Amino acid sequence: MSLNQLSSGDLIADRRADYARMLAESGDTQGAAELMAQALELAPDWAAGWFRLADYEEKSGRKEAAVEALRNTLRLNPEDVFGAGLKLALLGAADTPEQPPSVYVERLFDDYAGRFDQALVEKLHYSVPEKLAALIERASGDCHFRHVVDLGCGTGLFGERIRGRAEFLEGFDLSANMLAKAEGKTVYDRLGQADLSLAPDASGVFGTLPEGRADLVSAADVLMYLGNLESVFVIVDHLLAPDGLFAFSVEDGSTIDSFVLRSSLRYAHSEAYVVSRCTASGLSIVAVERSTIRMDAGQPVAGILFIARKPA
């Protein structure tokens, strides 16, 4: 459900919000902010409305007003389904969170699932699945995998490309709607809902799975929705069998020390940070490849693809 579809419960407030949206779409964000503020006078407890006002205020150049609206959003919705905390960090009004709220990521991809494949592949020229599959082939030769675990499997774009080399293919995602799309492709032998921000010892689903079940774990275009990657590497260490491979991608953080939150509300990671996390987990780097992984607002997004191996 998009923000524009979230009702205030007040018909007049909703109508003013609709007019505000039309003004914003025509480029009059200041007028949109004024109308949205009027709507919120009628519905002051409307969290989605405050988040929309923050967007209009920010685009109008009124940073302090945007910050106030975002704080109201968080006050009314502490779980932060809208990602207001991420926006506050980008505006310099809060520290950058090490992880985005799981409810925000889940809702984002639940909303996106129906148009995900077409939007990502056809419009944004998304290429991580095929590039990561090709890098795995170069690193492992003609090897077939006994058990593959695809973390953040989404609709199954990477699963489709590794299926022919996997005896058993397992996929996990936070979004139920994405999992439903993946199930419809009949690519996976098993699918499950899981949160990558929860390590196996923190009530995560991975703690219920046997250790060392996979000889390949993948995370294609997933880690940019996490900042600190510590939990992911704990999960990977739990899942990987000795001599198993971890194949994954990040957005290239270039010269930053660790990770940074970008205006896209995705995180970028430096190669040095990723290598340090691999080293801390006892994984050795097998292959590294830099590549454009998608387009965003007409600009190429640089990424880094990695293959790491667990000691035999």
Question: Is a pLDDT exceeding 70 seen at residue 3?
Answer: no
Q: Rounded CA gap, 157 and 154, in Å? A: 7
Domains of the chain, CATH where assigned: 3-95 (1.25.40.10), 110-309 (3.40.50.150)
> Do 91 and 54 meet the contact criterion of CB atoms below 8 Å apart?
no
How many other C-beta atoms can be found within 10 angstroms of the C-beta atom of residue 92? 9
Q: Cβ neighbours of residue 169 under 8 Å, at least 6 residues apart?
A: 148, 150, 159, 162, 163, 187, 188, 189, 190
Token pair recorded at residue 303: 């990424």
Task: Supply the pLDDT for residue 47.
Answer: 95
Give the tens place of pLDDT for each residue, 170-226. 999 999 999 999 999 999 999 999 999 987 776 678 878 889 999 999 999 999 999
Give the tens place of pLDDT for each residue, 110-126. 998 888 777 777 778 88
Give the tens place of pLDDT for each residue, 66-91. 999 999 999 999 999 999 999 999 99
Mean pLDDT of 16-22: 95
Higher local confidence (pLDDT), 32 or 201: 32
Task: Supply the pLDDT for residue 1.
Answer: 39
Give 123's DSSP letter. I
